[in-house]
Every structure is written in structure tokens, then in C-alpha cells.
Structure 1
Amino acid sequence: MYTYDDQLLDAVKVRRKRLAQALLHRSERLRRTWTDGLGTMLGSIFFAVLACAVCVGVSFVMNLIANDTTFKRQPTQGTSITAPATPPTSPASTPPSADEDKQ
């Protein structure tokens, strides 16, 4: 049977063992915590670099498309509209010709 004295002795032994481990390996505990945080930090940096690379890539492709003339809409030769050689004039602004004076 597990008596009260045995429970007390086991509890004291466990407590002394934990205190000795904490005293001996204090820096190891801090190092383990730091390396756990390091993994999270490196993962965050990786995703930040990936997001920046995607943004730069999209911007580069959009700039290429905006500056490239092959993607701009150009009229075909059969349906192109050309401007007349002489601009049309209104009848009020033209001087009367010689034929109109004879009539």
C-alpha cells in the first residue's frame, strides 16, 4: 500500500529533481524557447519575401503589357478611317467665287 509518507517522499524527490534541473540547465531552457521563436520568425520572413516577390512580378508584367505595342488595339487596314486631305469649310467663311458673281 502507498502510504502518506511514501507520497510525501516521492513529491520531495520530484521537486528536488526539478529544482536541480532548473539550476543546471537554465540556459538550455532559454535556448530552446529562443529557437522555437526563431522558426516562427524565419517562416514569417519567408512568407513576407514571397509576397514581395509576387507583387514585384505582377507589377513587372503589368508594366510590360502597358508598354508593349502588340497588346494595344490597332485598327486594321481595311477598316481604317483617314482624315480628308483638306478640311471642310463652312459656306459663310468662304469668299464668293468668280462663277457666283456672274450669275
Structure 2
Amino acid sequence: MAMDFDSQLIESVEVRRHRLSASFLFGRNPTERRWKERTNSFVYGLIIAALICAFCVALSFVINILTNYINDRNEREQEQEQQELERQQMEQEREQGQPQGAPETSPAATSLLASLPAAAQPPSAALQPTPWRS
């Protein structure tokens, strides 16, 4: 019988120590403790989800900026190559089609004359011959 009493006493002391340490760490009310733990878990989950979403948005933004930059750079390179090809073609046409001693016209002057409206051109070029006008 003495053994039973001693084991009960030791067990009750152990339970009391456990309860005291739990109440010291988590508070007095065990239901409140469970509610706080669940709320904390929920809030931490929301914070982690918000951080993940913010990271995804930032990553998408950076990728978008980089792809736009690369596309713009490629377009500029293609335009430069196209302009270089046009310059080479114009030089070849000048070499082949222009007689020696003829005055050269610059591409800028040619493009300027082509871009002028019909009203700004000389009157002879603006008036087309008609059957009653010779």
C-alpha cells in the first residue's frame, strides 16, 4: 500500500509541475491557449502567403522588364542591319547607274524632295497636261 501512495504522490507532483510550467509558458486558461495557437498559426500562414505573392509579383515584374529590354535591343539591332543593307544597296546603285561627271544627289535631299507635298513642288510638276491645255 505504501508503494501505491508513493507512486501516486510522485505522479501528482509531476502533473502539478507540468501544469505550472505550462501555465507559466502559455497562460492560465488552456482553451485560450489553444485559440491563441490556432490564431498565431493562421496569421503566420497569411504572412507567408503574402510574402510568396509579393515575391511572385516582383519576379514577374523583373522578367517583364528584362524581356522588354531584350526585345527592344533586338529590334534596334535589326533596324541598324536594315539601314546598313539599304546604304550598301544605294552605294551599289550609285556606282552602277550614275555616269561619270554627273552631279551626285544626296539621299537626304532625295528623301526631302519626295516628302514635299504637291503644292510645294514647282508649278510645272504640279500641272498635268489636259486635252484643252497644251
Q: Normalization by structure 2: what TM-score?
A: 0.43
2:49 equivalent in structure 1:
37
TM-score of the superposed pair, with normalisation by structure 1 = 0.53
After superposition, the C-alpha distances for 1:27-75 in whole angstroms (9 at most, x for unaligned) are 3431222012211221121112101110111001111121135873655
CA distance in structure 2 between the partners assigned to 1:39 and 1:62 by the alignment: 35
- Which runs of 5 or more structure 2 residues have no equivalent in the other structure? 1-9, 99-134
The aligned runs of 1:1-103 (5 Å cut-off) are 3-13=10-20, 14=22, 17=27, 19-24=31-36, 26-68=38-80, 72=84, 75=88, 82-83=95-96
Matches of 2:71 and 2:12, distance apart in 1: 75
Q: Aligned-pair distance for 1:23? A: 2.3
SS of equivalent to 1:31: helix
Q: What is the aligned-residue RMSD (CA, Å)? A: 3.6
| Number of corresponding residues | 81
Q: Which runs of 5+ in 1 are unaligned?
A: 86-103
Query: Which residue pairs with 2:5 in the alignment?
Result: none
Amino acid paired to 2:12: D
What is the percentage of aligned positions where both structures have the same residue? 1
Following the alignment from structure 1 to structure 2, what is the Cα–Cα distance between the partners of residues 68 and 35? 49
Q: Which has the higher helix share?
A: 2
